[in-house]
């Protein structure tokens, strides 16, 4: 019974501290979101006026990669979507700005900031559980091993090691994209456009014989892989001459195995991007501007290979921008 006042006081203090911390987080989130929205509205004005969709996409992806913003979109003055990263959510703190240049409305900006919430109830429950657990454990140790406990407190080793801060989180699985474009003489002069497409979606490009292998390990690596492939496909359709495009895509932890399977999918492709069943199993709720459809192929069973296609004009607009630059 003597612990009841201590428990009540501990719960009240915990609730007060958690509520105070939440109010501070809310103010800081509002201040941070307004600052970034103001800066982004200024920096994107020139790109929007010059219809530089590629630079707008790169700018929004840079904002999204920081982790605080889960949604960002820029529309022109007629509210047509120009660039977007992520999806809006009801829980986001939304910040809107008019993008102007010399007092002329060029477009509109929307940012969705991930809210910082303090789980007050969970903290109080966790505090009580920890309080009881520590109290019981400390009582048992003192009752049975008091002398040894205080000896350990005085003579314990104070040397500790600090874990290094990880700069980039890499996925255990790797996305492997194999692309074959023929003839070489027509594509050779435009390889810089393919390199820019890889850079836009954070891919690492290598050459294996006639194959272009692009790997993705960080961020939204599955969506980036498919968007990169569809962007390169759109570029080949815009370039002069008749180009053959074949692409295959797979995911896994064994890079050599998935490279071979992606190369196999590219070999049976017919002017399309073929993805494995593993990719299809991931796709639910993952893609905004991509559709996966079952593909019927004479040497592959049903439900084993799927075709990836864009469902809006965003990737096509990116391809036009890259071909014009």
Q: Return the higher-pLDDT residue of 308 and 12.
A: 308
For 245, what's the count of Cα atoms within 13 Å in the CB-facing half-sphere? Answer: 20
Q: Which of 314, 324, 325, 294 is nearest to 231 (CA)?
A: 314
- Mean pLDDT, the chain, rounded, equals 80
Question: Does the pLDDT at position 151 exceed 70?
Answer: no
Q: What residues contact residue 223 under an 8 Å CB cut-off, 6+ apart?
A: 286, 287, 290
pLDDT, tens only, 124-133: 677 667 767 7
In whole angstroms, give the CA distance from residue 91 to residue 111. 12
pLDDT(292) > 60: yes
Across the range 148-171, mean pLDDT stands at 53
Q: What is the pTM of this model?
A: 0.48
Out of 119-123, 140-144, 154-158, 292-296, the most confident range is 292-296
**Residue located via tokens 């290979």:** 305
Residue 312 φ then ψ, to 5°: -145, -170
CA distances 307 to 214, 215, 250, 272, 301, Å, are 18, 19, 12, 7, 14
* Digit-coded pLDDT (tens) for 18-68: 777 777 877 888 888 888 888 888 888 888 888 888 888 888 888 888 777
Q: Mean pLDDT over residues 122-148, rounded?
A: 67
- Helix, strand and coil in the chain, % to nearest 5: 50, 25, 25
Percent of the chain with pLDDT over 90: 10
The residue among 10 and 119 whose pLDDT is bigger is: 10
Q: Is pLDDT of 165 > 70?
A: no
Domain at 4-113, CATH from 3.30.450, 3.30.200, 2.60.40, 3.40.630: 3.30.450
CATH 3.40.220.10 assigned to domain 170-324? The reply is no
Query: What are the residue ranges of CATH 3.30.450 in the chain?
Result: 4-113
Structure tokens at 2: 């003597």
């Amino acid at each position: 019974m003597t612990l009841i006042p201590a428990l009540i006081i501990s719960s009240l203090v915990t609730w007060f501290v958690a509520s105070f911390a939440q109010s501070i987080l809310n103010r800081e989130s509002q201040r941070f979101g307004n600052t970034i929205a103001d800066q982004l509205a200024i920096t994107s004005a020139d790109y929007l006026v010059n219809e530089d969709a590629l630079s707008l996409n790169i700018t929004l992806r840079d904002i999204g990669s920081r982790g605080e913003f889960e949604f960002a979109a820029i529309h022109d003055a007629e509210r047509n979507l120009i660039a977007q990263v992520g999806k809006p959510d009801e829980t986001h703190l939304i910040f809107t700005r008019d993008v102007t240049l010399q007092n002329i409305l060029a477009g509109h900006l929307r940012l969705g900031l991930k809210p910082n919430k303090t789980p007050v109830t969970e903290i109080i429950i966790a505090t009580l559980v920890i309080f009881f657990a520590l109290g019981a454990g400390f009582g048992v140790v003192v009752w049975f091993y008091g002398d040894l406990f205080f000896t350990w407190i005085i003579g314990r080793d104070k040397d500790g090691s600090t874990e290094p801060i990880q700069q980039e989180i890499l996925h255990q699985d790797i996305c492997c994209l194999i692309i074959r474009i023929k003839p070489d003489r027509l594509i050779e002069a435009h390889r810089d456009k393919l390199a820019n497409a890889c850079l836009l979606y954070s891919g690492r490009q290598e050459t294996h014989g006639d194959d272009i292998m692009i790997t993705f390990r960080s961020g939204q690596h599955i969506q980036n892989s498919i968007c990169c492939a569809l962007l390169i496909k759109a570029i080949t359709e815009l370039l002069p001459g008749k180009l053959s495009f074949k692409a295959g895509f797979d995911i896994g932890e064994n890079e050599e195995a998935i490279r071979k399977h992606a190369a196999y999918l590219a070999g049976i492709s017919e002017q399309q991007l073929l993805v494995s069943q593993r990719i299809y199993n991931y796709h639910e709720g993952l893609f905004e501007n991509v559709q996966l459809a079952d593909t019927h192929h004479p040497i592959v069973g049903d439900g084993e290979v799927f075709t990836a296609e864009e469902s809006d004009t965003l990737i096509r607009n990116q391809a036009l921008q890259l071909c014009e630059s």
